[in-house]
Amino acid sequence: MKREILNFFEMKIPSKSINEGFARMAVSAFASQTDPTIEQLAEIKTVISEAITNAVVHGYQNEPGIIHVKVSLLKEKTLKIVVKDKGVGIPDIHKAMEPLYTTGNADRAGMGFTIMQTFTDKLKVVSRPGKGTTLTMEKAL
Amino acid sequence: MIEYQTKKEKTVIFLSGDIDHHSSELLRKEIDEIIRKTEPEETVLDFSGVTFCDSSGIALVLGRYKLMNAAGGKVTLCSLPKSAKNIFLMAGLDRFVRIKEEV
Ligand SMILES: Nc1ncnc2c1ncn2[C@@H]1O[C@H](COP(=O)(O)OP(=O)(O)O)[C@@H](O)[C@H]1O
Ligand SMILES: [Mg+2]
């Protein structure tokens, strides 16, 4: 069953690391209309930061690309965040989601997916090698 | 430039702003430069000025732990924002570094 969308915004941003902070501000400003707690807002900022960073670092391998973000406010006070890249994709999603698993360098902790899972109520990853990755998260507020 | 204080064998480094993938590489270089310069037995990372921290902060702390541990030293974190503390505990960082409320 399709749930009613009360409000949404969409944006396309180039895969530049400076946009990680911008995306956090944009999404937290949008989420503010539901009067979230400070802790919920910190969690929302963290998960969007993890998702955008993954698109920049892993999806596009620090090369230019476009990241598509859609954030919706669903009925029953649920925030839905979709982050899409057309990067390299994930060959083994199950493995990628294991805590501490990373294909990155020493500046990566392999905790992005674990954090996104812990700080949201639903996390769905759809990915095809060579095609890209779409991340869908839902968080009740 | 990051501010720091060093007395006896302890160096306190005051982190500020957002810690994310965008900022963490420069931050790492600056912290490591301070550690190299002061050669402390204990490095304290003071998070009281930190406005945001994601998993890049976990890697940053873990890397500084490895650096200090290789030289026989230790790392202490203090004044962690609640959300940073949450994700640090999620990663089990408290097995490697001491987490204090105040300096
Ligand atoms: N958007 C993406 N495109 C391609 N690979 C990805 C993407 N997101 C995550 N991954 C893969 O999943 C692994 C785990 O991601 P994560 O848990 O965020 O840890 P980290 O980013 O620290 O490596 C990454 O190292 C990478 O191999
Ligand atoms: Mg990540």
Contact A42 B82 (CB under 8 A): yes
Among candidates A82, A117, A108, which has minimal Cα distance to A12?
A: A82
CB of A58 within 8 A of CB of A103?
Answer: yes
Residue with tokens 């905790």: A111
Q: Which ligand 1 atom is at minimum distance from the Cα of A53?
A: 21
**Residue A3: its pLDDT value, please?**
87
**Residue A2: its pLDDT value, please?**
77
Candidate from A24, A42, A50 with C-beta closest to B55 = A50
- B93 to chain A: closest CA residue: A109
pLDDT at B103 over 70: no
The rounded distance, in Å, linking the Cα atoms of A119 and A16 is 24
Percent residues over pLDDT 70 in chain A: 99
The ligand that comes nearest to the alpha carbon of residue A104 is: 1
Numbers of helices and strands, H then E, in chain A: 4, 5
Q: Which domain, by its residues, includes A44? A: 5-140
- Report the DSSP pairing between strands A5-14 and A132-140: unpaired
| Cβ count within 10 A of residue B52 | 22
**Residue A1: its pLDDT value, please?**
66
- Kindly report the CATH number that applies to the domain delimited by B2-100: 3.30.750.24
Predicted ipTM?
0.95
Percent residues over pLDDT 70 in chain B: 99
CB of A31 within 8 A of CB of A41?
Answer: yes
Expressed in angstroms and rounded, the spacing between residue A52 Cα and the centre of ligand 2 is 8
DSSP designation for B45: E
Q: How many domains does one find in chain A?
A: 1
Contact A21 B20 (CB under 8 A): yes
Contact A17 B22 (CB under 8 A): yes
Q: Give the domain CATH number at A122.
A: 3.30.565.10
Inter-CA distances, A23 with A53, A116, B19, B88, Å: 10, 15, 14, 22
Expressed in angstroms and rounded, the spacing between residue A125 Cα and the centre of ligand 2 is 13
Expressed in angstroms and rounded, the spacing between residue A124 Cα and the centre of ligand 2 is 15
Encoded tokens for A51: 């998702």
The ligand that comes nearest to the alpha carbon of residue A102 is: 1
B103 CB contacts (<8 Å, ≥6 apart)? B12, B44, B46, B78, B79
Alpha carbon of residue B50 to chain centroid: 11
pLDDT at B61 over 90: yes
At residue B101 the predicted structure's pLDDT band, cuts being 50, 70 and 90, is confident
**Residue-range domain boundaries for chain B:** 2-100
pLDDT digits (tens, 9 = 90+) for A31-63: 999 999 999 999 999 999 999 999 999 999 999
